[in-house]
Amino acid sequence: MKRLLPLLFLSCWALGAVRAQMTGPVRGIKTEHLPNFDLRRFHFGFLLAYNTSDFFMKLDPQAYTRDSVMSIDHLRKPGFNLGIIGSLNMTDNLSLRFIPSLSFQDRVLRYRFRRSDGSEVVFDKPVESTYLEFPLLFKFRSDRINNFAVYVVAGGKAAIDMASQKDVNNAIDDEVVVKLNRFDYAAEAGGGFDFFLPYFKFGIELKTGIGIPNLLIDDGTRFSSPLRSIRTKTYVLTFTFEG
């Protein structure tokens, strides 16, 4: 939670700045900020984001008949992203955006097993990832209304998990990790709002990413065997700052 506090303070400050810029130096008279912003073919910026990550899971339908597993739940956890933005204006309303980022994601898989005496035991298996992501997105934006515009984005990304534990030796049952492949790719879509401030453009964006490949590595443990596939799912609230 502590690592998210700077993001919350920053978002409050940015929203205050957006409200302040809606009126010009004289109250009630609106001033067009950054009038030449869209005339530049390239522009750059950075982003800060809050994410929640989760999984799409498919279970082996025979798992409950041949093993002691009773249920498997997936719990989403908060994380954050840091990235830089490179944008190419293709037309007045369409741009191509390349956004290399670091994404810190946490998830938990909760297993319930039945012991031989009929009692239950619960295991929480954290799945922590630090992704180096390479999104390539098309952004379609409306015409400016004074200092405001709305937009949608769609595209895809490739990702490398720098914290992957795919090579860990799962010899001790209580310390077994759920292994996932290091490489992932996903489709992304979302939308947001652009606010043109006096010195930079501020954006608020909400998007989702749906992983395409099955990342599960079945190494024969009682934590991987009941699963047939695991795919990633993320929701990201992003604050962008572009000059």
Other C-beta atoms within 10 Å of 156: how many?
16
Using 50, 70 and 90 to split pLDDT, how confident is the model at 191? very high
Q: Who's near 215: CB < 8 A, 6+ residues apart? A: 180, 181, 184, 230, 231, 232
Report whether pLDDT(134) > 80: yes
Residue-number span of the structural domain to which 216 is assigned:
2-242
- ∠ CA 171-73-170, rounded to 5°: 5
Query: What pLDDT digit, counting tens, does each position of 93-110 carry?
Result: 999 999 999 999 999 999
User: Whole-number mean pLDDT of the chain?
Assistant: 87
Q: Identify the band that residue 211 occupies on the pLDDT scale cut at 50, 70 and 90.
A: very high
* Interval 43-82: pLDDT, tens: 999 999 999 999 999 988 877 766 788 889 989 999 999 9
Q: Identify the weakest region by mean pLDDT among 9-23, 42-56, 89-103, 170-184.
A: 9-23
Judged by average pLDDT, the poorest of 28-37, 61-70, 184-193, 195-204 is: 61-70
| Number of domain units in the chain | 1
Q: How far apart are CA 44 and CA 88, in angstroms?
A: 9
Residue 104 sits in a domain whose CATH number is 2.40.160.20
- Give the distance, in angstroms, between the CA of residue 202 and the centroid of all CA atoms in the same chain: 19
Q: What is the pTM of this model?
A: 0.83
What is the C-alpha to C-alpha distance for residues 34 and 32, in angstroms, rounded to an integer?
7
Tell me the mean pLDDT in the region 168-197: 86
User: What is the spatial distance between Cα 159 and Cα 13, in angstroms, rounded to a whole number?
Assistant: 31
For position 242, what pLDDT does the model report? Answer: 96
The reported pLDDT for the residue numbered 220 is 84
What would the pLDDT profile of 136-149 be if each residue is shown by its tens digit?
A: 999 999 999 999 99
Do strands 101-114 and 120-141 pair parallel, antiparallel, or not at all (unpaired)?
Answer: antiparallel
pLDDT class of 154 with cuts at 50, 70, 90: very high
Instruction: Specify the pLDDT at position 164.
Output: 83
* Residue 188, pLDDT score: 98
What H or E segment, with its residue span, contains residue 19?
Answer: helix 5-21
**Neighbouring C-alpha atoms within 13 Å toward the C-beta of 142:** 13
Q: What is the residue whose two structure tokens read 């031989």?
A: 116
Which residues are CB-neighbours of 224 under 8 A, at least 6 positions away? Answer: 178, 179, 216, 217, 218
* DSSP output for 104-168: EEEEEEEEEEE-TTS-EEEEEEEEEEEEEEEEEEEEEEPPPBTTEEEEEEEEEEEEEETT--TT-
pLDDT value of position 15 = 52
Question: Helix (H, G, I), strand (E, B), or coil: what is residue 89?
Answer: strand
Percent pLDDT > 70 in the chain is: 83
Closest CA to 129 of 101, 171, 170, 97: 101
Q: Which of 233, 20, 2, 47 is nearest to 147 (CA)?
A: 20
* pLDDT exceeds 60 at position 40: yes
CA distances from 153 to 102, 190, 204 (A): 19, 5, 12
